[in-house]
Amino acid sequence: MNKVFLIGNLTRDPELRTTQSGISVCSFSIAVNRRFRNQQTGQQETDFINITAWRQLGELCARYLSKGRKVAVCGAIQTRTYEAQDGSKRSAFEVVADDVEFLTPAPQQQAGGEYRPAPQHAPAPAAAPSFTPSESGFTQVDDDELPF
């Protein structure tokens, strides 16, 4: 099974291209922090992963993402080999995205054309249930009140 889940920040703005057959493809890269710090330096290590999104997903990524935005990417690793200009063989890998979740709110446009980040709101507290369960954990319900 080839399945990858990544969360990171875009390192550059996405690039949207179109193949000769008219299919949209978007490329971008994300910085993903490793789970553990380097033992010698104590620094957080980061991996830079290339992402490719095709068709409508690629168009949406190009339209709504920009450098610095946080995303969650679900996809598959794809490897390829190529010959460099000096004649040496090289390998590259990328993640072909099946799904991209935008985690950073989109910027909002103010009057006057300025952009500012969307405000971060705390979630509303959950409403208390409107029933009181009995000591056994069940609530008595009259069958005539059920909609089915």
Q: How far apart are the first and last CA of the chain?
A: 42
Q: Is 77:52 a contact under the CB 8 Å cutoff?
A: no
pLDDT of residue 138: 59
For residues 46 and 34, give the distance between their C-alpha atoms in angstroms, rounded to a whole number.
6
The answer to whether residue 145 sits within a structural domain is no
pLDDT of residue 136: 56
pLDDT of residue 141: 64
More confident residue, 79 or 114: 79
Domain that holds residue 6: 1-36+44-107
The answer to whether residue 51 sits within a structural domain is yes
Among residues 105, 94, 106, the alpha carbon closest in space to that of 6 is found at 94
The answer to whether residue 136 sits within a structural domain is no
Q: How does strand 44-54 pair with strand 115-116?
A: unpaired
CATH number at residue 48: 2.40.50.140
Query: 120: which DSSP letter?
Result: P
The answer to whether residue 1 sits within a structural domain is yes
Q: Is 28:54 a contact under the CB 8 Å cutoff?
A: no
The answer to whether residue 128 sits within a structural domain is no
Q: How many domains does the chain have?
A: 1
